[in-house]
Amino acid sequence: MKRSMRLWWVLAIAACRTGGAPAPGHAEHAEAAEHAKAAEHGEHAEHGEHAGHDEHEGGEEEHAEGVVQLAPAALERSGVEVAQATAGALAGAIEVPAEVRLNPDRVAHISPLVSGQLLRVEVAVGDPVEPEQALATLRSVELGQARAELSRAGSLLGAAATNLSRQKRLRAEGINSERSLLEARLAWAQADAERDAARSRLLVFGVEGGSGPDLTLTSPIAGVVLDRHATRGENVTPDDTLFVVADLTGVWVIGQVYEQHVGLVTRGMAATLTLNAYPGRTWTGVVDYVGASLDESTRALPVRVELDNPDGVLRPGLFGALRLSSSPEGAATVTLVPDTAVQSVERRTVVFVPGAEPGQFVARPVTVGRSGHGQVEVLEGLAPGESVVTRGAFILVSELMRAELGHHDH
């Protein structure tokens, strides 16, 4: 066992050395290394076989446990530093560029449901409007025909109903035949179906009744006319958007969070808006939406804050900044480590903690949460107060991978 441990230390020192002349007093180590090499190729004595076997078993144990062993000289050269994990919450705030935008739920795009010619336009851009207020009037041949068909179908239904009543009375008096009554019932049913079909065709045009070819376009919401594409005498179709009306009493503010701060942003965090147009004035709200992906052109993550705008000063298109508080009051306390401590090994997220022996480090799997301001939340696998490698962890990853390659070679 002593020979196995000595051989293990020799191989670890040989793997960690970066080159140069052998240090004094290493002749014994070199001799042990030669024995290990002979054991690996089957050119050994009985004690060499045992040494090679012990070395192989020890290497498998270290690899399975994710153990890295550095010799004192290699440890000094590596610059590895150890510190304690702390308890807390990610603190600080970030400021991101932002723009005031329309709330799509408060916008109406108004188009005619039937082709026609504009007779009158009642509003201009900037005019306030109320629900059901007239915006324009158009004349449509299609609409006139549909209304005429409905009127005709209604008249036919009335005549069929009158005839059916008469046939029922005559049948009750025994004057007419059962056949005449059945024919009257059938005529009424057909007239009723035609009336329903004519009414349905009229509903496609957005109206339920009326007469003549004229149609009045109205606003479905209260708001302000933001855009108008309507001129008197112009022929329009259902593909034309004639008016855009927006309710500006509530707006969206869209912030752009860049990659280095993405881990700090969550729904519900406090947000403060400042605008270039109104120095010294602020608006407060909360983040109610965080984008699922980064914008391909800006490489930023959109976040949204919905704000009330009773005085109308938050005009869509204004630019400013959102200050996002990344540590809202009452945030949960978790384990925090520097982001340099967290490494990836074989698709696992790990940190390195000191082992039982000097120069020994163990890769410990952890579950991480958010990151920012140079810190990472550790949700599982590490407790506050535990020692963890905070500098030089990438060197330990390299040594661990080298040990793995050596294991596969054996």
| pLDDT value at residue 57 | 41
| pLDDT on residue 65 | 64
Give the pLDDT of residue 331. 61
The pLDDT value recorded for residue 178 is 84
Going residue by residue through the chain, which has 410 residues, state the pLDDT in tens, using 9 for 90 and above: 444 444 334 344 444 443 333 333 333 333 333 433 433 444 333 444 444 444 444 333 344 468 989 889 888 888 999 999 999 877 667 899 999 999 999 999 999 999 999 999 999 999 999 999 999 999 998 887 888 787 888 888 899 899 889 888 888 888 888 888 898 889 899 988 988 888 888 888 878 777 788 889 999 999 999 999 999 999 999 999 999 999 999 999 999 999 888 888 889 999 999 999 999 899 999 999 999 999 989 899 999 999 999 999 999 999 999 999 865 455 668 899 999 999 998 889 999 999 999 999 999 999 998 877 788 999 999 999 999 999 999 999 988 888 766 655 55
Element containing residue 282 per DSSP (H, E): strand 282-290
pLDDT reported for residue 366: 96
Q: How many CB atoms lie within 10 A of CB 379?
A: 14
For residue 400 the two structure tokens come to 């661990």
- Determine if the pTM surpasses 0.75: no
The whole-number pLDDT of residue 343 equals: 95
Q: CB of 270 within 8 A of CB of 328?
A: yes
Q: What domains can be seen in the chain, in order of their start residue?
A: 1-65 (no CATH), 67-88+331-410 (2.40.420.20), 93-103+247-325 (2.40.30.170), 110-245 (2.40.50.100)
DSSP state at residue 20: S
Query: How far apart are alpha carbons 24 and 211 in whole angstroms?
Result: 111
Nearest to 52 by CA among 35, 34, 39: 39
- Exposed, middle or buried: residue 224 (CB in 10 Å: 0-12, 13-18, 19+)? middle
Q: Give the SS3 label for residue 89.
A: coil
| Residue entry with tokens 């008249």 | 155
pLDDT for position 410: 54
Contact 233, 97 (CB under 8 A): no
